[in-house]
Amino acid sequence: MGEQPPRMETDKLSAMYGKFTAVKGISLSFAANQVHALIGPSGCGKSTYLRTLNRLHEVSAGGWITGRVLLDGEDIYASSVNPIQLRRRVGMVFQKPTPFPTMSIRDNVAAGLMLDGRLPKAEVDEIVERSLRQAALWDEVKDRLKASALGLSGGQQQRLCLARTIAPQPEVILLDEPTASLDPQGTQRIEELVVSLKEHFTIIIVTHNMQQAARLSDTTSFFYIGQLIEHGTTKQIFTAPTHEQTEAYITGRFG
């Protein structure tokens, strides 16, 4: 590693809501098949930054950016790039579980598969099973695939959303505080999954939980008031931060 080109990269990226600048000129790169954590106090711009990576930021009222975001060296904000197609390559899981309430468990997982035309049913079933297995949910739901997704617990719903996100085989998975609404047990399962998933995907996770960032990630970036204060390997950030603010934050003295 190290010499390989990054899977994803931002170059002097700023993100605005109308006249308010939430993210200020951030340049970062994310190597493939690693877990990258974004940490920082509330309102520091890390979620906004994450949402620029799949162009969801521009859906928000008044959202716009300057700078560049590269996926495999290609600018995803170029006029030739269709944001709809891009989002199939960069998946996302949100803070609160978001199963589609009108769909069964199976249809939820298959939701992202049917977008480019119909696949044979057998193939869909196969992908659904594989995705649910990867999300460690298969054994719990295999007998009720046709039941409503709303019957699942919060932790199960979140793993369902993870299965739904990995089913179309994106290259990058964005996780926006995926365990914030879960109990400790649900949190632990998601964390185990994240580590196991990096074999296939590049993962960028926003978290408020320092221990979580330390346990899961290969690199950590510390955001503060829209700026990138420090970026490095997780080990370096947590054991020998070079900035005083970073040290203050990770040791719990502010934020």
Q: Which residues bind other proteins (CB under 8 A)?
A: 54, 56, 59, 84-88, 91-92, 94, 96, 98, 100-102, 104, 111-112, 115, 143-148, 150-151, 161, 164-165, 168
Q: Which is nearer to other proteins, 29 or 98 (CB)?
A: 98
Q: Which is nearer to other proteins, 8 or 228 (CB)?
A: 8
* Minimum CB distance to other proteins, residue 40 (Å): 21
Buried b (16+ CB within 10 A) or exposed e, 141-154: beeebeeebeebee
| Packed helices 154-166 and 184-197: angle between N→C axes, nearest 10 degrees | 20
Q: Which is nearer to other proteins, 115 or 195 (CB)?
A: 115
d(CA 106, CA 49): 31
Q: Which is nearer to other proteins, 85 or 239 (CB)?
A: 85
* Minimum CB distance to other proteins, residue 241 (Å): 32
d(CA 137, CA 106): 12
* Minimum CB distance to other proteins, residue 146 (Å): 6
* Minimum CB distance to other proteins, residue 36 (Å): 18
3-state helix, strand, coil in the chain (%, to 5): 40, 25, 35
Indicate the length of the chain as a whole number. Answer: 255
